[in-house]
Amino acid sequence: MKSLLLSGAVALMFSMLVPATAQAGPGATYVALGDSGAATTGAVDLDVAAPLRCVRSTSNAPKLVAEKLGLALDDRTCSSAKIPDLYNAQGAGIAPQFDALGPATQIVTLHMGANDADMTEYILGHCHAGAVSGGCAAEADPEWDNKIDAIAPAYAAALAEITRLAPNATIFVDGWPTYLTNTSCPAMLGLLPADAAYIQSKFERLNTVVARAAADHGAVYIDTVTASREFGMCADPSVRWFDPVLADQTLLPYHPTLAGQRGVADLIVTAIEASGVLAR
């Protein structure tokens, strides 16, 4: 999800076409594509070799997956990334994420779409800001659902482009885990319980959109909701997968802690091993 402390995300583009002259390079064995949900642990283990704007971590899920499976990794994940940033430079010194793909690529992980659906804007502007006046669940905005559903064509096109650029790769799509259940907590600074459940329902709607696209394309969708249900932002700090508004580990609310990145990495490793791609 788009970093709550970062700004300047690229506006959603209408055209998702790659120039006809684009050519795939050889590609790394494992390429990680995505936004801050895959890129960062915030202030923890910052990768100083990566573009500063990406806030990429040395202990994010892609790096943990690569370490466990012994894979050569090209980690292109970047905070605030949107689907167009797969095709185009996100900013100075940040190449298009698709530049990492090629015929040698065997494994691609993709965690993308929350920024395109304006999740941060709705969560902050409607739910947290609206808590003092009754909350967002009580005045549900159908436009949020429309924003989430509207990413489907661009997401499907991105999956097709990954296959074009990396024809020998298996694509693994990991969804959004459990951030909140039907309760809130002091660390969420007044978020209403009904709004907590409402926010989680939107992440699960987003999961439905990307899972459907993955299934249609033949990619492997990895459900992260069930495994993380006891480790949301109101869980004990020692086990929670995401920092709450009072972020005491990463300094980035709604972003993965080290425990969260490890948990997602374990699920991705299990999916990769089960797919048989490593036996090719």
Active site positions, annotated: 36, 255
Question: Where would I find the H helices in the chain?
Answer: 36-39, 61-69, 84-87, 119-122, 142-149, 152-165, 193-217, 258-275
Q: Quick one: tokens of 3?
A: 């970093």
- Coil, helix or strand at residue 170: strand
- How far apart are the C-alpha atoms of 162 and 169, rounded to whole Å? 8
- Coil, helix or strand at residue 172: strand
Whether 255 contacts 36, CB under 8 Å: yes
- The residue behind tokens 């064509």 is 153
- Coil, helix or strand at residue 165: helix
**Nearest CA among 184, 203, 192 for reference residue 244:** 184
| Cα Rg of the chain, angstroms | 18
Q: Quick one: tokens of 17?
A: 């076409």
The DSSP secondary-structure symbol of 100 reads: G
The dihedral through the CA atoms of 74, 173, 146, 196 has a sign that is negative
φ, ψ at 65 (rounded to 5°): -65, -50
Whether 141 contacts 126, CB under 8 Å: yes
